[in-house]
Chain A
C-alpha cells in the first residue's frame, strides 16, 4: 500500500492530467469555450448569484469535461500501476471536486490571468515534461519575469493538443525527455501528429527545445501556461 503522501501526490497528478483534458476540451469545442467564458464575468465576488454561477461552471462544464478515458499507454496509468499496483479495472478518471472548485475560484478572482497561467503551466509541465521516476514534484510559485512568446491562436490550440498527446503516451514522453539536443527535440515534437491531424510548428518546437535544453522550468511553465490559457479560457 502506498503511504498517504504518495496517494496525495498521485491524486494531484490526476487532477493536473484532468486539467489538461479540460483545456483540450475547450480548445476542441468552440461552443464549450464560448459558453464557459461567458460565465467568467459573472463569478467575481461572493454573492448568491455568483455562487450559483460558480456551481454551474464547476458541475456542468469543468468536471464533466475533465473526464479521461484512461489508456494503458498514459503516464497516469503507469504511475497508478507502479504505486497502486491494481489498475486493471481503472477505465476513467475525473478531476477532484476540490481542484475544480479551486479552478473556478481562481477564474473568478481579480488576478485571474496570472494565477491561471501559473496553474495551467504547472499542470502542462507536470504532465508532459517532468520527471516521473518518482511522485515528487515541486510546482513553480510564480511566472518568469522574462517575456514569453505569445503564439498565434491556432498554434496555441495545437500546443494544448501536443501536451495532451505527450501526457497520453508514456513511450512518446520518454522519447522526448531522452533528447539532449535542441534539434532532436524539434525533430520529435514536429513529428507528433495531433488529433486534429496537424503538427506543431518548428518555431514552437524550437521554443520548447530551448527551455528544455537550458532546464528553464519556470520559463517553460510560463510559456505553456500563458499560451494554453489564451487558447482555452
Chain B
C-alpha cells in the first residue's frame, strides 16, 4: 500500500487499467446481453436463424417443407401464390409444440409432423383478456386467471388430495398438455352471433398475441395512437446484416366442446368453459375442446405502398390468413355464373359420421331452401342455412352451416392443403385447411372476399376480414385491431398449473 501510494505514476497506470477493464467488461457484458437478447428474440419469434432452423436455407425449391420457423415479412415478391405459401408455413410453424413450460418457445428439437397432436406455440401466448386486465406483467409468466366460478376445479378435494382438474386430465392422456389451459368465457362473435354445434354446444372464442404484440399492448394507454410493430426483413447495412424482426401477430381461435368420439379428428386442449345457468348464475366446467377455426393476423406486409394520406384502409400492413377444420360443414358447389347449389353427395360427412355444424335431412332441407325456380336460396325465411339460431330467444338451435366455395386461388389452395394432408398424415393437423390469406396489394385488398364459416358465420353476403376490421381503423381502436373493444369478461383467481397436484 505504501508503495502504491508513493508511486503515483504506477498508481495512475493501475487505476487507468482498472478503469479500462471495468469499462471494457461493461461494454462486453452489454454486447453479450444484446447479442443473447437478439438470439432469444429470434428463437421466441421463430425467425429463421442458424440456431433456430438450420434447414431453413435449404427450404428453397421445397415449397411444402414444414419447419418451426417462418419468414418475418411477405418478402420482395408478393403475389397471391406466395401469400398462400406464407399462410401454409406460418400455420405449421405456429402449431409447433411448445418447449416444456416455456411460453412462446417452440421445441426446435422435435419434428412436429411426427406427433399425433401438439400443444402449439400460440396457445401458450398471453390472451387479450390477460393483457387487458393486467393479469400478467411479463411475457414468460405462465399463470393465468380463471373466473371465480371455476375456482372449485383447482382446489384439492380434501387436504393433500388431487383437484378435480388433476383427476380430469388423467382421464385423457391423448390431449396435449402445456403451460396453460384454455379459459373460454366468450361465445359471441363480433357480429353478435353464436355458432352452435350439432350437440347444441356454443362455440367459444379466444384471442392470443405474440411477444411483439404483447409488449406493445402492455405499453398502450387509453390515449395512445395505436400502431402495432411491423415486421422487417433482414437487410444489409454498411457491410453487416441486420436481423429480421417479427411484427405483431394476433390469433383468434374458435373452440368446440368435443364428444369422445370426435377426439381423434381434432387438435384438442383442456379448457374451463363458462356458461349461464337457468337461474342466471355462472357455471364452469372442465372440458376437452377441439379447434374449429383460426385466424392468424400478422403485421408482415411493410411493402404495402398504400399510404395513409390516401385512405386509411390502404395503409393496411397486416395479412389475414384464415383456416378451418375440414369436418365443420359441407360446401356449396359452384355451378357456374356464381350460382351455388347443394348436392346430396356433397353433404355426406368427410370425417366420422357427421359434420360438426350441419345435420339436416336432405329432403327436408330441399323443401325449405329451394325456391320456385329450383335454385338453392339460403335467404328464404324458411331456410336455416347460415342463420343465427340464437335470435329467437329461449334456447339456441343448432347451426346449419354451408361453406361458400373459394373463388380465388383454387389451384394453389388445393396444392397446399393437399400438402398438409400428405406431410402431416399422422397428425390431427392434417384435418385443417387454409381458406385463404388476405392482404393489401398496392392498397387493393386481395382476395376481395374472404370469410371463415365459423369465425364469420351467418354473413348475408360474402364478407372480408380486412373489410370488417376497417371499422377498427378509427380513432377509438386504430390499426385494424379491436384491441380496446374487448368486453370486460371476468376477474378471478390466478392459476399456475405447475402447483396442481
Interface residues of A (CB under 8 A from B): 30-31, 33-35, 37-45, 49, 53, 56, 107-113, 116, 147, 150, 152-154, 226, 229-233
Contacts and interface: CB of A to CB of B under 8 A. Distances in A.
Contact of A34 (B303, B408, B415, B441): B415
B79 A229 contact: yes
A74 B181 CA distance: 66
Contact of B61 (A39, A111, A229): A39
Contact of B443 (A35, A49, A147): A147
Contact of A40 (B76, B409, B447): B76
B275 interface: no
A211 B60 CA distance: 39
A150 B79 contact: no
B85 interface: yes
- Among B75, B76, B446, find the residue whose CB has the most chain A CB atoms closer than 10 A: B76
Contact of B79 (A37, A43, A154): A37
B234 to A, nearest CB: 9
Given A41-B71, A113-B303, A153 B415 contact: no
A37 B85 contact: yes
Contact of B81 (A33, A41, A110, A226): A33
Interface string B46-78: 000000000001011111000000010001111
B444 interface: yes
Contact of A35 (B61, B79, B408, B446): B61
Contacts of B444: 150
B341 to A, nearest CB: 20
B189 interface: no
A17 B57 CA distance: 33
B185 interface: no
B80 interface: yes
A56 B62 CA distance: 13
Contacts of A110: 76, 235
27 contacts: A30-B411, A30-B412, A34-B63, A34-B85, A34-B415, A35-B63, A37-B81, A38-B59, A38-B61, A38-B85, A39-B61, A40-B82, A41-B60, A44-B76, A45-B236, A53-B61, A108-B76, A110-B235, A111-B76, A113-B76, A113-B78, A116-B77, A147-B443, A150-B442, A153-B408, A153-B446, A232-B79
Main secondary structure of the interface of B (DSSP, over half): loop
B79 A112 contact: no
Contacts of B78: 113
A148 to B, nearest CB: 8
Interface string B441-459: 1111011100000000000
Nearest to B448: A152
A152 B447 contact: yes
Interface in B442-481: 442-444, 446-448
Contacts of A30: 411-412, 415
A152 B409 CA distance: 9
Nearest to B441: A150
B77 A37 contact: yes
Report the 7 A-B pairs with minimum CB-CB distance, sorted nearest first: A42-B60, A38-B63, A112-B76, A30-B411, A150-B444, A39-B60, A40-B77
Interface of B: 57, 59-63, 71, 75-82, 85, 235-236, 303, 407-409, 411-412, 415, 441-444, 446-448
Nearest to A49: B57
A30 B410 CA distance: 10
Contacts of A40: 75-77, 82
A3 B79 CA distance: 41
Contacts of A43: 60
Nearest to A44: B76
B413 to A, nearest CB: 10
Nearest to A52: B60
Contacts of B303: 113
B58 to A, nearest CB: 9
B77 A42 contact: no
Nearest to A61: B61
A154 B334 CA distance: 15
A233 B81 CA distance: 8
Nearest to B445: A150
Contacts of B63: 34-35, 37-38
A152 B118 CA distance: 37
B304 to A, nearest CB: 11
A233 B60 contact: no
Contacts of A31: 415
Given A53-B60, A53-B61, A113-B76, 14 more contacts: A30-B412, A30-B415, A34-B81, A35-B63, A38-B63, A39-B60, A56-B61, A108-B76, A150-B444, A153-B409, A230-B441, A232-B79, A233-B77, A233-B81
A30 B85 CA distance: 13
Nearest to B76: A112
B79 A230 contact: yes
A35 to B, nearest CB: 6
Contacts of B411: 30
Nearest to A43: B60
A111 B411 CA distance: 28
Contacts of A38: 59-63, 85
B447 A153 contact: yes
Contacts of B76: 40, 44, 108-113
B61 A153 contact: no
B466 to A, nearest CB: 15
Contact of A233 (B62, B79, B408, B441): B79
A57 B57 CA distance: 15
B408 A154 contact: yes
Contacts of A56: 61
Nearest to B410: A154
A45 B443 CA distance: 28
A110 B407 CA distance: 31
Contacts of B443: 147
Contacts of B409: 153
Contacts of B407: 152, 154
Contact of B408 (A44, A112, A152, A229): A152
Nearest to B306: A147
A111 B78 CA distance: 11
Nearest to A39: B60
A111 B235 CA distance: 13
Contact of A112 (B57, B77, B446, B448): B77
Contacts of B235: 110
B223 to A, nearest CB: 35
B104 to A, nearest CB: 24
Contacts of A41: 60, 71, 75
